[in-house]
Amino acid sequence: MQSKTYLQLTLAIIKPHVVKSPFVLQKIRDSIIDNNLKIVRSRRTIITQKEAVLFYEEHKEKFFYNRLLTFMCSGPSDIYILTDHNAIAKWRQLMGPTKVYQAQYTARDTIRGMYGLSDTRNATHGSDSVASAEREIRIFFSDFNFKKWYEHDEKYYNLGQIHFDPVAFVHTINTSFPNKEQITK
């Protein structure tokens, strides 16, 4: 008997300078879909100062902190909860190195290699661990219930019983699939 492999959740942010460029935004969205990452939640918002301060608290003492906060609150960002087996590593690989100059020379085909402008304007953010993903998701999706998602929704995403809405850029559970109880009746 095989053990069940649960899906992993991660937070993805498409930064303001990218959202202002529909062509680039669509290329990044296509990359997410083409790499079989599923979108559990999707929202476009201008990140508030309060959210930015919580989100970037680890950088508070760094020289670029104020510049980072100002930039992240400067216009709309797209914020997603992504899922897949090993979603954190998969999304981080698609993004490429955090430092844009490094991405442009060593990982040209990554999102940051192609669309990053500077280390602050590096196009995207992705959680670096399960703990970070949970903390970050709670900042931007305060109503997201991890326990409920893993108890109810995760199995549908894991089995591919979902529907993709390209306008809302989100996957939803497809209830037209028969479940085990319906099949055995």
Positions marked catalytic: 125
Count Cα atoms within 13 angstroms, Cβ side, for 71: 20
Kindly tell me the burial class for residue 76, based on how many C-beta atoms sit within 10 Å of its own C-beta (0-12, 13-18, 19 or more): middle
Residue 48 marked in a binding site: no
Q: Is 99 annotated as a binding residue?
A: no
If we measure between CA atoms, which residue out of 17, 68, 22, 73 comes closest to residue 46? 73
Q: Distance (Å, rounded) from C-alpha 64 to C-alpha 115? A: 20
The reply, when asked if residue 122 is annotated as ligand binding, is: yes
92 marked as binding residue: yes
Q: Would you say 108 and 66 are in contact if contact means Cβ atoms under 8 Å apart?
A: no
- Tell me the C-alpha distance between 29 and 7, whole Å: 20
Question: What three-state secondary structure class fits 153?
Answer: helix
The beta strands (E) that lie in the chain are given as: 8-14, 38-45, 77-84, 124-126, 162-165, 170-173
Q: Confirm whether residue 98 is marked as ligand binding.
A: yes
Residue 112 among known ligand-binding residues = yes
Reduced to 3 states (helix: H, G, I; strand: E, B; else coil), residue 125 is: strand
Which parts are annotated binding residues?
15, 64, 92, 98, 112, 122
Binding residues for ATP: 15, 64, 92, 98, 112, 122
